[in-house]
Copies of this chain bind each other. A is one copy, B any other.
Amino acid sequence: MSDKITIQEPKGKLGILTPGMGAVSTTFMAGVLSIRKGLSDPIGSLTQMGTIRLGKRTENRNPLIKDFIPLAPLENVVLGGWDVFEDNAYEAAMHAKVLDKDLLNELKSELEQIKPMKAVFDKNYVKRLEGTHIKTGYANKMELAEALMDDMKKFKEENGCDRLVMVWCGSTEIYIEEGEVHSTLEKLEEGMKNNHPDIAPSMIYAYAAAKMGIPYANGAPNLSCDVDAIVELAKQTGAPIAGKDFKTGQTLMKTILAPGLKARSLGIDGWFSTNILGNRDGEVLDDPDNFKTKEVSKLGVLEQVLEPELHPKLYGNLYHKVRINYYPPRGDDKEGWDNIDIKGWLGYKMQIKVDFLCKDSILAAPLVLDLALFLDLASRAGMKGGIQEWLSFYLKSPQAAKGLKPQHDIFVQLMKLKNTLRYLAGEDLITNLGLDYYD
């Protein structure tokens, strides 16, 4: 049994701020309000509904996670955000058409009070959007970051928050590769002052959060907190950060199925994934530059799970293709269709088709909550050094220590998350500890 870590109690209010107040964010916000009123259940949220087994099976100890480890209670959560449109959360949620009108109307007065702060926006990064509610008149990206820090200070004060956490819920930005400017904090800061073109808005948010020691996670696949410069900053300030791209829908299924097939040493010759979706996300991803960001994030998953270098006969020739199609009739009701060409004993071929009629924002919203609460926990527990690999569970592109491959197998991720919680609470571990490379 490990020693119990000292965790500060989650006293006072926790402000959860989302850059982007579109479908995902408003579904999250309305959900928190609805749950708080007892109108709905927080299904899909491990922090609220999940249990954790402790000790031996025969002990029958399976408390709810939220009863086991000190998390900020929903009653103490305050919601806020930034957006490129000035719709308040009620208007934005009505526009997103994810939740029933009846439900939104019951929450109308609270939602209307959540008004977006003006966003940092750069049309080069999201060509299909025309932002109108944006910060203008700043000389450079560093000044924009400072404006965001001012926003946060003001929000904290006005809302009487004890702590803040930030989760990016904005659109997917165009693809950029990690470069020189992202390699050290010094270079990044210089780049921000010089308006270097490879510093995306989301990175300015990440910088602002990390600079203030505020935890940050990125729900989209663009380059943001996952560069050396931000990691360096996070280590300095103690801000927990946690990789990018909410693992929902098709990729969620992929990291469930692939470990299962691999467990049985079944080979895979091809994996074809196509999506249809009609929300704003689909519109943005219809632009090839933005799609590339998503594609890279989605494609990497299988490689790590299957380890073709260790299993060349099983996965050495895997042909993996991912397509996203903007298809307006569906709105937020994304549908993912996968065809998997597998092979078994003596090479005989079989096929698996998975049709997932999902709801994009419904799957993503509880991840905003969980990431926010767990990042806040990490902060209060004094977990060192930026990257929180134990939160890989939630992300298509988890972040790991330099030199380590991230883990994509959702069951390995789950074990990592739960054992980290057990470790924090001084309980016996069941398996590989997520703190392992970060002491």
Question: Given A41-B313, A41-B347, A339-B276, A410–B357 Cβ distance below 8 Å?
Answer: no
The reply to whether B352 and A348 form a contact with Cβ atoms under 8 Å apart is no
A-B pairs, 4 with minimum CB distance: A256-B260, A270-B329, A431-B431, A411-B411
Q: Which residues of A approach B to under 8 Å, CB–CB?
A: 27, 31, 34-35, 40-46, 48-51, 56-58, 62, 99, 103, 252-253, 255-257, 259-261, 263-267, 269-270, 272, 274, 276, 307, 310-311, 313-314, 319, 321, 323, 325, 327-330, 335, 337, 339, 341, 343-348, 350-359, 362-363, 365-366, 393, 403-405, 410-411, 414-415, 430-432, 436-437
Question: Given A311-B49, A352-B357, A404-B58, A346–B43 Cβ distance below 8 Å?
Answer: yes
The reply to whether A325 and B321 form a contact with Cβ atoms under 8 Å apart is yes
Q: How far is the CA of A209 from the CA of B102 in the complex (A)?
A: 45
The reply to whether B362 and A350 form a contact with Cβ atoms under 8 Å apart is yes
**B-chain residues with CB within 8 Å of residue A411 when the two chains form the complex:** 259-260, 263, 411
Main secondary structure of the interface of A (DSSP, over half): mixed
A41-B313, A353-B353 known; 15 other A-B pairs, CB under 8 Å?
A44-B345, A46-B265, A51-B311, A103-B346, A256-B259, A257-B260, A263-B410, A265-B366, A270-B329, A272-B276, A274-B337, A337-B339, A348-B362, A352-B357, A353-B356
Question: Given A256-B257, A415-B431, A345–B276 Cβ distance below 8 Å?
Answer: no
Q: How far is the CA of A393 from the CA of B325 in the complex (A)?
A: 31
Q: How far is the CA of A329 from the CA of B352 in the complex (A)?
A: 14
User: Which residue of chain B has its CB nearest to the CB of A413?
Assistant: B263
Question: Given A44-B265, A346-B103, A352–B355 Cβ distance below 8 Å?
Answer: yes
The reply to whether A274 and B344 form a contact with Cβ atoms under 8 Å apart is no
Question: Given A270-B330, A310-B62, A350–B358 Cβ distance below 8 Å?
Answer: yes
User: Which residue of chain B has its CB nearest to the CB of A47?
Assistant: B265
**B-chain residues with CB within 8 Å of residue A314 when the two chains form the complex:** 43, 49
The reply to whether A325 and B57 form a contact with Cβ atoms under 8 Å apart is no
Max chain B Cβ within 10 angstroms of own Cβ: one of A260, A313, A346 = A346
The reply to whether B99 and A40 form a contact with Cβ atoms under 8 Å apart is no
Question: Given A346-B99, A350-B357, A404-B57, A49–B313 Cβ distance below 8 Å?
Answer: yes
The reply to whether B319 and A328 form a contact with Cβ atoms under 8 Å apart is yes
The reply to whether B352 and A366 form a contact with Cβ atoms under 8 Å apart is no
Q: How far is the CA of A274 from the CA of B41 in the complex (A)?
A: 31
**B-chain residues with CB within 8 Å of residue A343 when the two chains form the complex:** 43
A-B contacts, 28 listed (Cβ < 8 Å): A34-B346, A41-B313, A41-B347, A42-B346, A43-B314, A43-B345, A43-B346, A44-B264, A44-B266, A48-B265, A103-B346, A253-B352, A259-B411, A274-B325, A319-B329, A323-B325, A329-B341, A337-B337, A344-B359, A344-B362, A345-B365, A345-B366, A350-B359, A350-B362, A352-B356, A352-B357, A353-B355, A411-B411
Max chain B Cβ within 10 angstroms of own Cβ: one of A311, A339, A436 = A339
A64–chain B nearest beta-carbon distance, Å: 9
The reply to whether B345 and A57 form a contact with Cβ atoms under 8 Å apart is no
User: Which residue of chain B has its CB nearest to the CB of A276?
Assistant: B272
A390–chain B nearest beta-carbon distance, Å: 14
**B-chain residues with CB within 8 Å of residue A355 when the two chains form the complex:** 351-355
Q: How far is the CA of A40 from the CA of B344 in the complex (A)?
A: 11
A375–chain B nearest beta-carbon distance, Å: 18
The reply to whether A352 and B350 form a contact with Cβ atoms under 8 Å apart is no
User: Which residue of chain B has its CB nearest to the CB of A363?
Assistant: B344
The reply to whether A43 and B352 form a contact with Cβ atoms under 8 Å apart is no
A147–chain B nearest beta-carbon distance, Å: 32
The reply to whether B339 and A43 form a contact with Cβ atoms under 8 Å apart is no
**B-chain residues with CB within 8 Å of residue A319 when the two chains form the complex:** 327-329
Q: A410 contacts which of B46, B260, B274, B430 (Cβ < 8 Å)?
A: B260
Q: How far is the CA of A405 from the CA of B27 in the complex (A)?
A: 39
Q: How far is the CA of A337 from the CA of B355 in the complex (A)?
A: 11
